[in-house]
């Protein structure tokens, strides 16, 4: 790749330092990886970021009601106890603005911005066999090169706007929740159509309904949502967090999910029904994704799962007053938590409002978008604003939207045409010195993300430090190790009910034409952490180095 604006050891104008590493993305992953490589290892690092600021997911997702489903005290970085003690989260489930403030604080505290180029979207990354360097190009034509390339592009960052005939002709405004305008959207007095009832739609609907003249929620697949029970943290809890930073970190490292709570050892099927009901009631009152851990067999046994599913369905039926709407909201086609389980604030209650209606687009699919609204098979819904809460081309999308080529010009998109293949979700055979933070094949979206991000970034930094110490220039996985790992990913998914939710984005089912492969590793974060640590201890077993 040649360009007039080239930043590399040979031709960098003004003698700026040669790059050891390029990191794509300045969300939580990119920032922490930058800190590891630049400040711990002393490497010269350039971060390239599409957005105009740090934050990644939290930079883009400014839609109404945007909040984290992880509890705040366990959501941030845990490598620095000082950072944990100095930051005060105000609420149990922090809203987008507060998380972005935290990420800004992190970037400033560790002086990270000087190594980040904003408004720089990477369009291509090609490995040069002769120089053993990655040549990276941005959409605006700038070029960079470095020995190591690390993608920190997020798992849910490639917006999925469905192809619906007529969208271009719509005369109102439309938005995807993951590309929300910074100035916000005024719904007052407007007829709003919200498409999608995953975690995002479920968060957005109650907030949009507060000001919209009318909100129509277009539901294709109902799902199970549990109340978040969000509330400000008490002074006592804030003190607990400061005094127990190390313990909170230890807890998040010990659980399968990276959340500070483990699966209960109790089994739903071995608990008498009245006791089981009381346990579910207590979990429902407590709220949050912790509900899923009420019994140890919920995700392993369909019959056990049915007890959780029935409990949530009954709650929905009790909350929603209109029986037809309640029926549509509970006509769920997958096991509880088989698809990513949302948590909400007044989602089901929202359907009791006079200005909200549910449109069942599984029964009568959307046929087209007209100049004035949405036409389904059985009617036309006049709208001023359409909100797409239609999710993402998850995990592989952000990587495959770039032109990534490895040894001898090998195209990643070709290697992954039948689904992503990697060793440990960290590296791909044929793509030397390329690391993917929370890539497909790692626990990623099945965990409390910062925990997975820290583990990957630390592992990558340790690996690069090892290479430097040993004078090694190149690392890539062995094909056999990669194949064996992919079998483990499939086996782990088959051992749970996750693989039975055939319409889930974990399987790529939400994007037409995407191969149906269960992408994240579902064997648990704690187990995965140990596997990665053992691989390193055993001389980076399964990888091949060259000097």
- The binding site for ligand NA7 (CB under 6 A) comprises 156, 162, 195-201, 218, 220-221, 340, 361, 366, 389-392, 503, 505, 510
Shortest CB 510 distance to ligand NA7, Å? 4
- 361 or 428: whose CB is closer to ligand NA7? 361
Residue with Cβ nearer ligand NA7 (56 or 432): 56
Shortest Cβ 506–ligand NA7 spacing (Å): 9
What's the closest the beta carbon of residue 218 comes to ligand NA7, in angstroms? 6
Shortest separation between residue 385's beta carbon and ligand NA7, angstroms: 16
CB of 179 to ligand NA7, least distance (A): 12
Residue whose CB is less far from ligand NA7, 46 or 522: 522
Q: Which is nearer to ligand NA7, 366 or 399 (CB)?
A: 366
Residue among 342 and 419 whose Cβ is closer to ligand NA7: 342
Least distance from C-beta 182 to ligand NA7, angstroms?
19
Handedness of CA 352, 357, 358, 364 (dihedral sign): positive
DSSP secondary structure, 164-181, as one string: -TTGGG--SEEEEGGG--
In the complex with ligand NA7, which residue's Cβ is closer, 143 or 444? 444
∠ CA 449-177-51, rounded to 5°: 70
Q: Under a CB-based contact definition with an 8 Å cutoff, are residues 78 and 250 in contact?
A: no
Strand segments (E) across 240-378: 343-344, 356-360, 366-369, 373-376
Which one-letter DSSP state was computed for residue 135? E
Nearer to ligand NA7, 406 or 419 (CB): 419
- Dist CA 433 CA 481 (whole Å): 16
Q: Quick one: 421 or 514, whose CB is closer to ligand NA7?
A: 514
Task: Find, among 377, 349, 380, 342, the residue nearest to 362 by Cα.
Answer: 377
Q: How far is the CB of 513 from ligand NA7 (least distance, A)?
A: 13
Give the list of residues 6+ apart from residue 426 with CB closer than 8 angstroms, or none.
435, 436, 439, 441, 442, 456, 459, 460, 532
At closest approach, how far in Å is the CB of 84 from ligand NA7? 23
Nearest distance, CB of residue 366 and ligand NA7, angstroms: 6
Taking the C-alpha atoms of residue 164 and residue 159, their distance in angstroms, rounded to an integer, is 15
Q: Are 269 and 304 in contact (CB under 8 A)?
A: yes
User: For the chain, how far is it from start to end, CA to CA, in angstroms?
Assistant: 25
221 or 370: CB nearest ligand NA7: 221
Closer by beta carbon to ligand NA7, 96 or else 115 = 96
Residue among 310, 307, 96 at smallest CA distance from 203 = 96
CB of 331 to ligand NA7, least distance (A): 12
| Residue nearer to ligand NA7 on the CB measure, 33 or 199 | 199
Phi, psi of 463 (to 5 degrees): -65, -45
Helix (H) or strand (E) run with residue 123 in it: strand 122-128
Q: How far is CA 373 from the centre of its chain?
A: 31
Burial grade of 130 (CB within 10 A; 0-12, 13-18, 19 or more): exposed
Tell me how far, at minimum, the Cβ of 140 lies from ligand NA7, in Å: 28
Let me know if 471 is exposed, middle or buried by CB neighbors in 10 A (0-12, 13-18, 19+). Answer: exposed
Q: How many CA atoms lie within 13 A of 137 on its CB side?
A: 16
Complex with ligand NA7: residue 195 or 207, whichever CB lies closer: 195
Helix (H, G, I), strand (E, B) or coil at 243: helix
Beta strands in 449-535 (DSSP E): 474-477
Q: How far is the CB of 221 from ligand NA7 (least distance, A)?
A: 3
165/366 Cα distance (integer angstroms): 9
- Contact between 461 and 36 (Cβ < 8 Å): yes
Report strand pairing: 379-382 vs 373-376: antiparallel
């Amino acid at each position: 790749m040649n360009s007039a604006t080239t930043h590399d050891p040979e031709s960098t104008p003004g003698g700026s330092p040669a790059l050891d590493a390029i990191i794509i993305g300045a969300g939580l992953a990119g920032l922490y990886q930058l800190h590891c490589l630049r400040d711990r290892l002393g490497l010269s690092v350039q971060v390239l970021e599409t957005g105009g600021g740090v934050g990644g997911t939290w930079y883009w997702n400014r839609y109404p009601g945007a909040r984290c489903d992880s509890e705040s005290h366990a959501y941030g970085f845990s490598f620095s106890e000082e950072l944990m003690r100095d930051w005060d989260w105000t609420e149990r489930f922090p809203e987008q603005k507060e998380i972005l403030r935290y990420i800004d604080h992190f970037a400033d505290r560790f002086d990270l911005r000087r190594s980040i180029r904003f408004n720089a979207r990477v369009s291509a990354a090609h490995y040069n066999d002769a120089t053993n360097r990655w040549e990276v190009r941005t959409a605006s034509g700038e070029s960079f090169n470095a020995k190591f390339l690390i993608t920190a592009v997020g798992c849910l960052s490639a917006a999925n706007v469905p192809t619906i005939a007529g969208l271009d002709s719509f005369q109102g405004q439309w938005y995807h929740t993951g590309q929300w305008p910074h100035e916000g959207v005024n719904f007052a007095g407007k007829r709003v159509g919200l498409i999608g009832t995953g975690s995002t739609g479920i968060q957005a609907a109650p907030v949009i309904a507060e000001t919209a003249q009318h909100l129509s929620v277009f539901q294709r697949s109902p799902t199970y949502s549990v109340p978040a029970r969000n509330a400000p943290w008490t002074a006592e809890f804030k003190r607990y967090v400061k005094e127990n930073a190390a313990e909170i970190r230890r807890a998040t490292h010990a659980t399968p999910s990276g959340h500070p709570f483990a699966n209960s050892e109790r089994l739903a099927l071995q608990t008498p029904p009245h006791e089981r009901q009381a346990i579910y009631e207590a979990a429902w009152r407590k709220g949050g994704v912790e509900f899923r851990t009420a019994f140890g067999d919920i995700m392993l046994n369909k019959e056990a799962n049915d007890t959780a599913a029935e409990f949530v369905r009954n709650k929905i039926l009790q909350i929603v007053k209109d029986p037809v709407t309640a029926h549509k909201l509970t006509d769920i086609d997958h096991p509880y938590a088989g698809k990513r389980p949302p948590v909400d604030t007044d989602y089901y209650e929202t359907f009791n409002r006079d200005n909200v209606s549910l449109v069942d687009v599984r029964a009568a699919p959307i046929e087209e978008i007209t100049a004035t609204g949405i036409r389904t098979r059985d009617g036309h819904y006049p709208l001023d604003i359409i909100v797409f809460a239609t999710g993402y081309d998850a995990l592989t999308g952000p990587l495959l939207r770039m032109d990534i080529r490895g040894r001898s010009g090998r195209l990643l998109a070709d290697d992954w045409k039948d689904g992503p293949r990697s060793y440990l979700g960290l590296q791909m055979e044929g793509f030397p010195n390329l690391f993917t933070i929370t890539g497909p094949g790692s626990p990623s979206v099945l965990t409390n993300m910062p925990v997975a991000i820290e583990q990957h970034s630390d592992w990558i930094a340790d690996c690069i430090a090892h290479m430097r110490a040993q004078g090694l220039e190149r690392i890539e996985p062995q094909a056999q190790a990669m194949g064996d790992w992919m079998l483990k990913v499939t086996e782990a998914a088959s051992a749970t009910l996750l693989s039975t939710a055939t319409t889930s984005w974990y399987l790529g089912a939400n994007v037409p034409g995407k191969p149906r492969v269960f992408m994240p590793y579902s064997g648990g974060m704690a187990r995965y952490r140990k596997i990665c640590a053992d691989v390193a201890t055993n001389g980076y077993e399964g990888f091949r180095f060259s000097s």
